[in-house]
Amino acid sequence: MSSPSQNTLKIGIVGFGRFAQFLAKTMIKQGHCITATSRSDYSNLSTQMGVSFFRNMIEFLESENDVILLCTSILSLSQVISTIPLNFLKKPALFADVLSVKEHPRELMLQVLPHETDVLCTHPMFGPDSGKHGWKDLNFMYDKVRIRNEDICSSFLHIFSSEGCKMMEMTCEEHDKLAAKTQFLTHAVGRFLGEMDIARTPIDTLGFQKLVELKETTMRDSFDLFSGLFIHNRFAREELKRLELAFETIKQKLLLKGKDDK
């Protein structure tokens, strides 16, 4: 008999955009059964992938998923979650999310979802670019916010641990503090480089090549994602201030040095 952590799950994805499709490929490879619903119509793509796509949210909820996985943009989650007709849920399910901020979905899920549903907040700290050659050694953050059915939860987490992810259990608050200093900063710098439209030249240093790569990977993510990292992470504002201050300090040092050396 297989252990609970290896159970095959029925996973219903809400928001079948770029990141959800990327996750679904690995879940399907592992033998899980995937259903999805989204604002846009992904029927054709879903058929090709082996995903059952529902345009109708009620039919999606009635399809008896073990896990409902929220993969919408950070900015739209509040609206999306408040319009899910939860009374059509056939059985208590585990609600999990993959948003790149964590306090915001935690609060929303605890506010809106019925008490009998379990809540797991997660953040796979990688995406379609960084995870295209597999998920080994990539960080996966999670917070078991309200878990009674340990079997379903551990089967879901097993999707990531079995691919070799580094499983990092921490609170949503701890995540947001660290992510503001790391992920938000990375995206902000990538966006600045995008705004400057930096491009390859015949004499690039390795350092500059890395900057171009950072610009390219950042710009492949939606602007909604980037703004969500700022608007719904209460620690990001401070990081933006630190960035502005660092820019001004360096600029003043350079201008001063220029004056001194004249």
Give the residue from 75, 71, 124, 20 showing the smallest Cα distance to 230. Answer: 75
Q: Which is nearer to ligand NAP, 22 or 92 (CB)?
A: 22
Residue choice 9, 11, 12, 16 for contact with ligand NAP (CB under 6 A): 16
Q: Does the footprint of ligand NAP cover residue 12 (CB under 6 A)? A: no
Q: Does the footprint of ligand NAP cover residue 127 (CB under 6 A)? A: yes
Residue choice 24, 71, 96, 108 for contact with ligand NAP (CB under 6 A): 71
Q: Which residues pair with 69 in a beta bridge?
A: 13, 96
Question: Distance between CA 158 and CA 94 in Å, rounded?
Answer: 14
DSSP category for residue 171:
-
Question: Distance between CA 151 and CA 211 in Å, rounded?
Answer: 43
Residue choice 47, 76, 182, 209 for contact with ligand NAP (CB under 6 A): 76
Give the residue from 149, 176, 163 showing the smallest Cα distance to 231. Answer: 176
Q: Does the footprint of ligand NAP cover residue 35 (CB under 6 A)? A: no
Report in angstroms the alpha-carbon separations of 179 from 184, 186, 215, 230, 232. Answer: 6, 10, 19, 10, 12
| Shortest Å distance, C-beta 255 to ligand NAP | 38
Q: Does the footprint of ligand NAP cover residue 39 (CB under 6 A)? A: yes
Question: Distance between CA 114 and CA 68 in Å, rounded?
Answer: 13
Piece of the chain touching ligand NAP by CB under 6 A; list 46-54, 67-75, 143-151, 154-162? 67-75
Piece of the chain touching ligand NAP by CB under 6 A; list 50-58, 112-120, 134-142, 221-229? 221-229
| Shortest Å distance, C-beta 15 to ligand NAP | 3
Q: Which residues pair with 95 in a beta bridge?
A: 68, 119
Q: Count other C-beta atoms under 10 Å from residue 112's C-beta.
A: 14
| Residues at the interface with ligand NAP (CB under 6 A) | 15-20, 38-40, 71-74, 76, 79-80, 98-100, 124, 127, 221-222, 224-225, 228
